[in-house]
A and B are shown apart, each in its own frame.
Chain A
């Protein structure tokens, strides 16, 4: 059986979650690999959540919210994401996690096709990178 990655997506309620909802309503083709966790704003996404997802066995993680500058429902929550995510990206590579396993960006509520495309492309990309097995690695170190 070919490898099917598990991907966790943290989406903001107002933009990308709306886009994902619309993509579903419009019956756009999306892989079943991506599971969505809704947050009110990507500014709520603590780097810990992303690390936790990898540690629990995710092969890829997406963080997506509203387009900067003006799209954010909460005025500037996306800017906080903009500041945190590049730092997190560096941290991940220090942990030995390939940059291709982590995507952060912006998809507005009106961009359902872009969301569907992102899920397809990102799943293909992570599938190409193979299983991460971070969970097992951590477990073996703890033993």
Chain B
């Protein structure tokens, strides 16, 4: 919200980066602004249009409420949306779909901010540095059919129950089952899509704490018996362990074991009409069946589905888990291997809110430090084209991952931009005319190493160890 009001910050929300070119200190970024069908300059967020909408009842699934609530075709994405401007869903709005609507929303708007003619536009900005903070996706619980998400209505994800516990949520803070009744017993299944050889191997780091929070909220709201099924409780962080201690004192049950299955197959009379958790209690050393009314799956964090495209666009690499790779895991946690591109938040790996704020602050500081220096230091390990040898075949242009090589039509030779070149040497290996030299890794240097390593020892003393 503060960022939205800051005179030096321009927020482009509902927009997507289409293209990036240039190099540190001089990036050109093309940004696609999607049409909201509302003039941002005129809209003040009074929400009169939502009341005026031809649909008297909200009838479309609300993404922010995880599908548990309804919205109209014209809506505010979420209560604290910045900027406080409404948006019209072109797939739902009668006017945008058919052109035949009374446009009562327009009539309701005193400032005439609604503009059905708005088109997608592309803006170009020149920037010195870029911070990529594209966040994460939550694991799709339906990928694990044995937990019954999507099959049993009372199996929820953590985020859905988060909306239920929220005072501004679809139920006004009432934790209720799909039939409107309050649950008497609730199971929270940890590590869904985390620490699992079959899905994601990493610990998503935030789930233990949000599971504890949900356990506390659900118990507080409904007085239900709450069971946590965990592999290990991971509560590092300031006052986190204390919160876990507090819950132990509140009578929340903790059962150590990965849940095998959630089923509605009742074996005993008390299981009739309930969801049954089948789990090995590894501390008691027994397989247990626990009947509950509601199951909450603590889904883990994953890289965004389009992380590969984003990585290619900004010239950043990804670690084996698919999150964006930092330049050094310990010493350079916000920089990437592309000069002038920084990372913040869960795009780099799962982290909680305080860590994200710290990471974002670090990225902002690194950016300001870079821009204030006014000049950049680059590695001397870059490629260099010998213009006399270049045969203008342009093969190097196609292999360069950084678009660091340009072709000069006047001189009919390729040339390398030292600021963009990262010294990988792909073009050196590719050049059919051997016109490109990789500084510090030239053919001569590498061949000399091969010869040196394979030289026959002349004397017994000279023998290699």
A: residues with CB less than 8 A from B are 6, 8, 32, 35, 37, 39-41, 43-46, 48-49, 52-53, 56-58, 67, 69-77, 80, 84, 108, 110
**Cβ A74 vs Cβ B319 within 8 A:** no
Taken together as a complex, chains A and B put the C-alpha atoms of A80 and B427 apart, in Å, by 10
A67 to B325, CA, bound (A): 13
**Which residue of chain B has its CB nearest to the CB of A58?**
B454
Verify if B315 is at the interface (C-beta below 8 Å from A).
yes
Contact present for B447 and A40 (CB under 8 Å): no
B451 at interface by CB-CB < 8 Å: yes
Chain A residues positioned under 8 Å from B446 (CB to CB): 37, 39, 49
C-alpha gap A84/B425 in the complex (Å): 14
A80 and B429 CA atoms in complex are apart in Å by: 10
Which 4 pairs show the lowest CB-CB distances between chains A and B? A44-B425, A43-B426, A70-B318, A74-B424
| CB nearest to B464 among chain A residues | A32
Could you give 29 example pairs across A and B, Cβ below 8 Å? Answer: A8-B453, A8-B454, A37-B446, A37-B449, A37-B453, A39-B441, A39-B446, A40-B381, A40-B424, A40-B438, A43-B426, A43-B429, A44-B426, A44-B429, A44-B438, A45-B429, A46-B428, A52-B450, A53-B450, A58-B454, A71-B318, A75-B316, A77-B401, A77-B424, A80-B399, A80-B430, A84-B429, A108-B320, A110-B320
Beta-carbon contact of B317 and A46 below 8 Å: no
Asked if B308 is at the interface of the complex by the 8 Å CB criterion, the answer is: yes
Q: Which residues of B contact A48 (CB under 8 A)?
A: 443
- B453 touches which one: A35, A45, A72 (CB < 8 A)? A35
Given contacts A41-B425, A44-B441, contact A70 B319 (CB under 8 A): yes
Known contacts A8-B450, A40-B438, A44-B429, then 13 further A-B pairs from the complex at CB < 8 Å, ordered by chain A residue: A6-B454, A32-B464, A41-B424, A43-B399, A43-B425, A43-B426, A53-B450, A71-B320, A74-B401, A74-B422, A75-B317, A77-B401, A84-B429
Q: Is the CB of A80 within 8 A of B426?
A: yes
Contact partner, B311, options A41, A43, A67, A70, Cβ 8 Å: A70
Interface size on B, residues (CB 8 A): 37
Q: Is B465 an interface residue (CB 8 A)?
A: yes
A100 to chain B, nearest CB (A): 19
**Chain A nearest Cβ from B449, distance in angstroms:** 5
B337 within 8 A of A: yes
Find out whether the CB atom of B426 lies under 8 angstroms from the CB atom of A69: no
B356 to chain A, nearest CB (A): 22
Assess whether B317 is in contact with A74, with CB atoms less than 8 Å apart. Answer: yes
Q: Which residues of chain A come closer than 8 Å to B90, judged between CB atoms?
A: none
With an 8 A cutoff between CB atoms, is B169 at the interface?
A: no
B173 interface hit (Cβ, 8 Å): no
For the complex formed, measure the closest distance between the CB of A115 and the CB atoms of chain B, giving whole angstroms: 15
B337-A41 in contact (CB<8A)? no
Query: Is the Cβ of B317 less than 8 Å from the Cβ of A73?
Result: yes
| Cα–Cα distance between A52 and B318 once the two chains are bound (Å) | 33
Q: A43-B426, A74-B401, A74-B424 are in contact. Are A37 and B450 (CB under 8 A)?
A: yes
Q: Determine whether the beta carbon of B454 is less than 8 Å from that of A76.
A: no
| Given the contacts A37-B450, A44-B441, A71 and B317 also touching, CB distance less than 8 Å | yes
| Interface pair A40/B441, CB less than 8 Å apart | yes
A residues near B450, Cβ cutoff 8 Å:
8, 37, 49, 52-53, 56, 58
Chain B residue at smallest Cβ distance from A36: B453
Instruction: Report the nearest B residue to A44, measured CB to CB.
Output: B425
Q: B312 interface residue, CB < 8 Å from A?
A: yes
Known contacts A69-B308, A70-B317, A57 near B426 by CB under 8 Å? no
Nearest chain B residue, comparing its CB with the CB of A10: B446
Are the C-beta atoms of A72 and B425 separated by less than 8 Å? no
In Å, the complex CA distance between A70 and B325 comes to 10
Residues of B near A73 (CB, < 8 A) are 317, 325, 337, 424
| CB-based nearest B residue for A108 | B320
* Contact of A44 with B428 in the complex, beta carbons under 8 Å: yes
B449 CB contacts on chain A under 8 angstroms: 37
Which residues of chain A are near B428, meaning CB under 8 Å? 44, 46
| Chain A residues, Cβ within 8 Å of B399 | 43, 80
Whether A46 contacts B443 in the complex (CB less than 8 A), given A40-B424, A67-B320, comes out as: yes
Give the distance in Å from the alpha carbon of A43 to the alpha carbon of B396 in the complex. Answer: 12
Q: For B425, what are the chain A residues with a Cβ–Cβ distance below 8 Å?
A: 39-41, 43-44
**Bound CA–CA A32/B453 (angstroms):** 12
In chain B, positions 40-69 with a C-beta closer than 8 Å to chain A are none
Cβ of A84: which chain B residues have Cβ within 8 Å of it?
A: 429
Residue of A nearest to B425 (CB): A44
Q: Is the CB of B453 within 8 A of A76?
A: no
- Check A75–B453 contact: CB distance below 8 A: no
Which residues, 215 to 272 on B, are CB-close (under 8 Å) to A?
A: none
Task: For A6, list chain B residues within 8 Å (CB).
Answer: 453-454
Contact residues in B for A53 (Cβ distance below 8 Å): 450, 454
Residues of B within 8 A of A75 (CB): 311-312, 315-317, 401-402
